[in-house]
Amino acid sequence: ARAGEPAPQVSDAPPADAGTAAQRVPFHGPHQAGITTPRPENGILASFDVVAGSVDDLERMLRLLTDRARFLTGGGPVPDLDPVLPPAGSGLLGPVILPGNLTITVALGASLFDDRPWLAGLKPATLQRMARFPNDALDPALCHGDLSIQFCANLQDTNIHALRDIVKTLPEFLVLRWMVEGNVPPVVPDAKGATPSARNFLGFRDGSANPDSNDAALMDRIVWTHGAHEPDWAQGGSYQAARIIRNMVERWDRTALVEQERVFGRRKMTGAPLDGGPDATEQQVPDYAADPEGRVTDAESHIRLANPRDAESQKNLILRRPFNYSRGALKNGQLDQGLLFICWQADLEAGFIAVQNRLNGEPLEEYIKPIGGGYFFALPGVRDDADYLGRALVDAARRT
Ligand SMILES: C=CC1=C(C)c2cc3[nH]c(cc4nc(cc5[nH]c(cc1n2)c(C)c5CCC(=O)O)C(CCC(=O)O)=C4C)c(C)c3C=C
Ligand SMILES: [Fe+2]
């Protein structure tokens, strides 16, 4: 404490930063936030079963969701109610909600369409139920769902507050199926002010070769749905592939560094590709044409299989936006840690499914185990105060 200021007490809350608490991501726009938005420190992915037997139900649910998301991401005072009633909110954030960089991203699963004849013809072109891949050990309690909501914010309490608000407001429509909490460890910017990629729980920088999320033309091509094969209502949305992938961290921490680097095809500390010189950074682009036999970068390495960087694989680019998760210990005494892998693409089959099929059998499989997840379609954005999430879908359902 400075002179004259009271010394901090055990019972004081850790001081928050007023600037970051007030950070606000615009809710309105052609696309939903939380997809090309830079990741804040914390995330939650929650999957729900939907109770909606008619278009009217669906409309009421989507309007309610929109209202809550608009308020929670914008912030403002919580209304005072008669004390004989439950309070308007959980109170977790106090009487005035500070947005704290919150984004709420709503996406629909294939089962929402498949189980409802009045939506059947309107399913996005490549939306489907997630099928098992060879290395998967899927827990049914952690898979699929009619609707996903991704919460991202500076503080996990902001996400939890938003989740509790939505669970409380929409009990007649939403039944929680599974949820995973994750985080992205902050990194000190380098001397030039650039921030390197965050590390995952295997200790490697994750995100180095991600497409540039500030390149709007690139995002239009690889992230946002477009084209005559998609229903009109779905233009400007995006497919979400979510995978809960356990990391066998005890085994990994006993694996030789050369093997760890061979498995990924990158240096552990810098994130540079293996064909880079001693000063190479994670931004350096590997040159596979100069290494056709895979002597420097193993042909089976994670990055080479995920993106062989040939003309053909250009159409398989995806935007990865993952979170690390750590949720205690398993009954066998192992740490329960992993990656909440989330990626976004304009076409699920050309994106995640094609990349995962190339990765099947990769050496990394010895250290990871996918245990859950699902595929969802993020609705196009909410244009203005008069609009709501999925309005075009509801209008189309009424016409058919
Ligand atoms: C199907 C898609 C992918 C899954 C599932 C996946 C899981 C996964 N990845 C890591 C760690 C790293 N991945 C890296 C690169 C990378 N990964 C994918 C796809 C999936 N990863 C792609 C498309 C790429 C980029 C390849 C390229 O363009 O060169 C890296 C290297 C650094 C980086 O670019 O991010 C790491 C490290 C883990 C731990 C994991 C599952 C637990
Ligand atoms: Fe990866």
10 Å CB burial of residue 330 (0-12, 13-18, 19+) is exposed
Question: In degrees rounded to 5, what are phi and psi of residue 242?
Answer: -120, 135
pLDDT beyond 90 at 191: no
At 190 the pLDDT is 86
At 303 the pLDDT is 98
Per the CB < 8 A criterion, the answer to whether 188 and 50 are in contact is: no
Q: How far is the CA of 303 from the centre of ligand 2 (A)?
A: 7
Q: Looking at ligand 1, which atom is closest to the CA of residue 316?
A: 23
pLDDT beyond 80 at 394: yes
At 178 the pLDDT is 98
Looking at residue 343, its amino acid is: C
At 399 the pLDDT is 94
At 54 the pLDDT is 98
At 35 the pLDDT is 99
Look at residue 244 and give its three-state secondary structure: strand
Question: Among candidates 180, 179, 202, 155, which has minimal Cα distance to 364?
Answer: 202
Question: Among candidates 389, 320, 319, 316, which has minimal Cα distance to 353?
Answer: 316
What confidence tier does 400 reach under pLDDT thresholds 50, 70, 90?
Answer: confident
Per the prediction, the chain carries an average pLDDT of 97
Report the b/e string of 335-355 with b at 16+ CB within 10 A: bebbbbbbbbbbbbebbbbbb
CA distance 104 to 101: 10
Looking at residue 281, its amino acid is: T
In the predicted model, what is the mean pLDDT of residues 252-276?
Answer: 97
At 195 the pLDDT is 87
pLDDT tens column, 293-349 = 999 999 999 999 999 999 999 999 999 999 999 999 999 999 999 999 999 999 999
At 148 the pLDDT is 99
pLDDT tens column, 142-188 = 999 999 999 999 999 999 999 999 999 999 999 999 999 999 999 99
pLDDT beyond 80 at 135: yes
pLDDT tens column, 345-368 = 999 999 999 999 999 999 999 999
Query: What would the DSSP string read from start to end of 252-268?
Result: HHTS-HHHHHHHHTB-T
At 297 the pLDDT is 98
Look at residue 112 and give its three-state secondary structure: helix
At 1 the pLDDT is 66
Residues 6+ apart with CB under 8 A from 195: 187, 189
In 10 A of CB 194, how many CB atoms?
9
Please list every protein residue whose CB sits less than 6 Å from any atom of ligand 1.
Answer: 200, 202, 204-209, 243, 245, 247, 264, 266, 302-303, 306-307, 318, 320, 339, 341, 352, 355-356, 359, 368
Does an H or E element contain 74, and which?
A: helix 55-74
Q: Whose CA is nearest to atom 26 of ligand 1?
A: 303
In the predicted model, what is the mean pLDDT of residues 233-239?
Answer: 98
Q: How far is the CA of 208 from the centre of ligand 1 (A)?
A: 9
Mutation to probe ligand 1, out of 199, 244, 285, 320 (largest number of atoms < 8 A from CB): 320
Tokens 């055990």: give the residue.
Answer: 10
What confidence tier does 194 reach under pLDDT thresholds 50, 70, 90?
Answer: confident
ipTM of this predicted structure = 0.99
At 23 the pLDDT is 98
In the predicted model, what is the mean pLDDT of residues 105-132?
Answer: 97
CA distance 372 to 145: 11
Q: How far is the CA of 229 from the centre of ligand 2 (A)?
A: 29
In the predicted model, what is the mean pLDDT of residues 98-110?
Answer: 98
pLDDT beyond 90 at 137: yes
